[in-house]
Chain A
């Protein structure tokens, strides 16, 4: 029988070996994708290795030119024009609505709150078609209003729920002493509670940024002109329109660029991310 110390060491190494192997499987595809953007077409197919046999340096520059009349400058700008207001309005409306639910009593409050939470489980697929028709009647199709207005109107119950939970955790005495000092309900929210909800605001911003950035389905349905395409749509268009003799490295290069903002945000705000998801749950 082995002495306990070395047995423990052996066990620990085994665990780390296992965990490292899983980790490798998790990230290898992503690393492969990165190096693939520098490979030649022939090298791309049927090679397991990461390192390109011959480096192609211009796949990013050429891919950026796009296939049609618009370059990826347009597509990136479009994506930001869609994502940034959507995120800001989601967080703002969720904070305000969350405050209303967390701190006020009014008729039917509990029923409305239950309804709000229940909409978390409402399948998006079911309301898609009428939404499409509503947006068409309003003349919003093929514009980013289809994303921005629902964000303004608290159509993301997940974030409202998160805000309610967070605000409920803040002591009510704060509000009461603010009332003593002559602060009104809006003043309490913006002067007293807002600074304290920063962690919730930050995780909300990050989550919504990444989800909106990655969203493909809604963009596919609501945005139709290439001029307004986001990166996801542009990327899919490139994939579909390219035949056999495609420079796949260019497509891959644009694919890499399309995930850079997400990955960047993830690493910069990792702490908030994991904590946010751990305390509020949901999605993925």
Chain B
């Protein structure tokens, strides 16, 4: 009998061994190494000497790009993600009924998310928002002045954010799945109690959707804090570094300046920041995320 359990365990380990290797070799080891590199002056061509926290000190005290870059990244994240999720939720609520037409809408809304941050879409954004672009000529037709969407440092980040908001489809589908899971008896009961539409939304729909909202929020925040392609291809960090997200800075430091050690330090600061945001979210979730089993489990 003992023998059988052991064989069973060995088979299990055998089946998960590809992942175990991959995890150790391509995730855990790189994570440890990136921390080590961040304490060295490594370049692209050679592993450098151990210099302690010098990179971090330099990052916080001398690097004139770091804080502006972090500011832009935070601004971008905390503008784009809430707008995107609010919009996704609104549309999901509007779409939540069973009919063929709704399927068509759902498909149409989902399509941009499929294309992601592909280069073609970034190219499209450049054409839509340049000075002689589609958006400005539409504004012109409405008698409104054009906006320098990509050239004005105060606007460019917003233009990039719009690209992300446009791709709200994935979050919307998740919300839709959640809405479908809400038992209709709850709505019937609310009707009997004479609750209006907004009251019902606030008292039933929203609380029951909080687990999905939480999930969406965590994944979108982690993604947004690392955003790269949109800012790289549409504006290349400009104008005047107004869209120079921290992801772009890491790329530049590592592969243009070839300062691997320093770039690793920047990426670790980003990592710790992401960790902090995620932890705060998880901590706060007890208060606002509603689980059907009361959060015990």
Contacts and interface: CB of A to CB of B under 8 A. Distances in A.
Contact of B19 (A46, A48, A160, A251): A160
B125 to A, nearest CB: 8
B186 interface: no
Contacts of B95: 19
Contacts of B20: 112
Given A48-B134, A126-B268, A211 B16 contact: no
Which applies to chain B's interface (DSSP): helix, strand, loop or mixed?
Answer: helix
Nearest to B226: A125
B9 interface: yes
Contact of A124 (B115, B174, B226): B226
B138 interface: yes
A199 to B, nearest CB: 15
Q: Using C-beta atoms within 8 Å of the partner chain, give the interface range for chain B.
A: 35 or more
A48 B138 CA distance: 7
A259 B118 contact: yes
Contacts of A123: 222, 225-226, 267, 270-271, 274
B115 A259 contact: yes
Interface stretch (A2-10, A58-66, A80-88, A232-240): A232-240
A255 B123 contact: yes
Nearest to B95: A19
A274 B110 contact: yes
Interface of A: 15-16, 18-20, 22-23, 26-27, 29-30, 32-33, 36, 44-48, 93, 96-97, 99-101, 103-107, 109, 112, 115-116, 119, 121-134, 150, 152-155, 160, 185, 189, 210-211, 213-214, 216-217, 221, 231-232, 235-236, 239, 248, 251-252, 255-256, 258-259, 262-263, 266-267, 270, 273-274, 277-279, 281-284
Nearest to A235: B119
Interface string B63-93: 0000000000000000000000000000100
A8 B108 CA distance: 25
A255 B226 contact: no
A267 B270 CA distance: 37
A106 B10 CA distance: 7
A97 B16 contact: yes
B206 to A, nearest CB: 19
B127 A216 contact: no
Contacts of A104: 8-9, 11-13, 15
Contacts of A30: 111-112, 115, 124
Nearest to B250: A125
A118 to B, nearest CB: 10
Question: 10 tightest CB-CB pairs across the interface, nearest first?
Answer: A104-B12, A284-B170, A153-B22, A100-B15, A154-B19, A255-B120, A278-B177, A130-B30, A127-B30, A106-B9
Given A27-B108, A131-B30, A121 B278 contact: yes
A251 B107 CA distance: 27
A125 B247 contact: yes
A275 to B, nearest CB: 9
A29 B267 contact: no
Contacts of A32: 124, 128, 134
B44 to A, nearest CB: 9
A251 B126 CA distance: 12
Given A16-B101, A127-B27, A127-B30, 17 more contacts: A18-B94, A19-B91, A26-B108, A36-B127, A47-B137, A93-B22, A96-B18, A97-B19, A122-B31, A123-B226, A123-B271, A125-B250, A130-B264, A152-B18, A277-B170, A277-B173, A277-B174
Contacts of A47: 134, 137
Contacts of A255: 119-120, 123-124
B16 A236 contact: no
Contact of A274 (B18, B118, B173): B173
18 contacts: A15-B94, A16-B101, A19-B91, A23-B109, A32-B134, A45-B133, A122-B27, A122-B31, A123-B225, A123-B270, A127-B31, A129-B264, A133-B260, A150-B22, A150-B26, A153-B25, A239-B233, A278-B177
A101 to B, nearest CB: 6
Contacts of B226: 123-125
B106 interface: yes
Contact of B34 (A29, A130, A216): A130
Contacts of A48: 134, 137-138, 141
Given A104-B12, A155-B26, A236 B270 contact: no
A269 B233 CA distance: 29
A126 B270 contact: yes
B111 A216 contact: no
B109 A22 contact: yes
Nearest to B233: A236
Contact of A232 (B119, B170, B215): B119
B12 A216 contact: no
B123 A252 contact: yes
Nearest to A284: B170
Given A109-B12, A185-B11, A153 B267 contact: no
